[in-house]
Amino acid sequence: MAMAASVTDDLESELLRSYLTLEAIDTNIFRASSVNLWHPVAGRFVYGGQVIGQALIAACRTVREEQHVHSLHCYFLIGGNAKKNILYHVDRTRDGSTYSSRAIKATQDSVPIFTMQASFKLEESDPLKHQYVMPVVPGPEELVESYDFLQSQLENEETTKEHRDFIKRILEKKMHIERRAVDPHLYHGLTQGEPRRYIWVKASGHIGPDIKLQQCIAGFMCDMLLLGAALQPAVPGTKVGYMASLDHSMWFHNPFRADEWMLYEIECPQCGSGKALCTGRMWRQDGVLAVSMAQEGVVRSAL
């Protein structure tokens, strides 16, 4: 797996050297330095998408070059401490002629914080196939970038001081991911609506043709936007006490480029008892379904 060889000097240098970089310290053990761990502005723990992406990179380094992940299933056991290194232990569960399985465990101070089961396969050609039709929404060129929208809210006289301070913290801690929501007011919690959202997403800059790297970056991107759909039916201004991922699954259907716009379709069919289930699909601009995902997470209101 020649991920580093496909890296150019713009975007992916930052993504790999920071968010997704790993050091091999043994045949099946990889280390993520605390220097590169990131946590969201409103979060206390390491960003879950970063752990997903790093765990998948570790697993990818142990399979044949021609095999690519087709599904993964994760559990977040406890929140990761952004001030401590993470070790990723890969168990080469099975290597078959078509499929290979890997079990990945992430630890801090020898304590498990995350587990992943990932399955890899060779590409196959089969005439039996179908898919849903991609939703019809405005294209990314018609929509405003998320950070630009937040900047406009800073300049809005109706924005409260509390919200203004929160926006400033977000803008000071930008990620290398571009987002353009079909309804930015709903996406940013300024209006109330159905628990469904459509967001165009892509990694900033040029990444390169490495399929495994594209998949790892998709794992990194998708976690940040899922659970938020559970809050959309709530009255704007509702205080959230705690949000965190419990589990996360992804299914990779077709090749894609994470540095090209994809439509992220997300819905939350159920929220209650302090948790929510959210599902998502990532569509290429040509209408091909690239990735499906599902996640359950803790969603608690502030008492």
Q: What is the DSSP string of 222-251?
A: HHHHHGGGGGTTSPTTPPEEEEEEEEEEEE
Query: How is the chain split into domains, by residue range?
Result: 4-122+136-301
What are 75-93's pLDDT values in tens digits?
999 999 999 999 999 999 9
Report the chain's mean pLDDT, rounded to a whole number: 90
Active site residue 223: yes
Residue 217 clears pLDDT 80, i.e. is over it: yes
Residue 1 clears pLDDT 50, i.e. is over it: no
Residue 205 backbone zone (phi > 0: left; psi -120 to 50: alpha; other: beta) = left
Active site residue 13: no
The rounded percent of the chain whose pLDDT value lies above 70 is 93
pLDDT-based confidence at residue 41 (cuts at 50, 70, 90): confident
- pLDDT for position 196: 97
Instruction: Kindly name the residue from 100, 119, 214, 245 that is annotated as catalytic.
Output: 245
- pLDDT for position 299: 94
Reduce the DSSP state of residue 48 to 3 states and report it: helix
pLDDT-based confidence at residue 4 (cuts at 50, 70, 90): very low
Element (DSSP H or E) covering residue 265: strand 262-272
Cα–Cα distances (Å) from 185 to 105, 188, 242, in that order, read: 38, 5, 22
Residue 6 clears pLDDT 50, i.e. is over it: no
Across 266-277, average pLDDT: 97
Residue 74 clears pLDDT 90, i.e. is over it: yes
- pLDDT for position 230: 95
Q: Which one has a higher pLDDT value, 299 or 206?
A: 299
Residue 9 clears pLDDT 50, i.e. is over it: no
pTM over 0.85: yes
Q: How many residues does the chain have?
A: 303
Residue 44 clears pLDDT 90, i.e. is over it: no
What are 119-178's pLDDT values in tens digits?
999 999 989 999 999 999 999 999 999 888 888 888 777 777 777 777 777 777 777 889
pLDDT-based confidence at residue 5 (cuts at 50, 70, 90): very low
Q: Decide: residue 65, CB within 10 A, 0-12 exposed, 13-18 middle, 19+ buried.
A: exposed
Active site residue 165: no
Q: How far apart are the C-alpha atoms of 268 and 301, rounded to whole Å?
A: 16
Amino acid in the structure at residue 227 = L
Q: Which two tokens stand for residue 46?
A: 């390491």
Q: How far apart are the C-alpha atoms of 85 and 23, rounded to whole Å?
A: 11
Q: Which one has a higher pLDDT value, 38 or 2?
A: 38
Q: Which residue has the tokens 């991911």?
A: 177
Residue 300 clears pLDDT 80, i.e. is over it: yes
Instruction: Kindly name the residue from 223, 249, 285, 301 that is annotated as catalytic.
Output: 223
Nearest 10 degrees: CA dihedral of 183, 184, 185, 186? 60
CATH of segment(s) 4-122+136-301: 2.40.160.210
- Of 32, 27, 29, nearest to 220 by C-alpha is 32
- pLDDT for position 14: 66
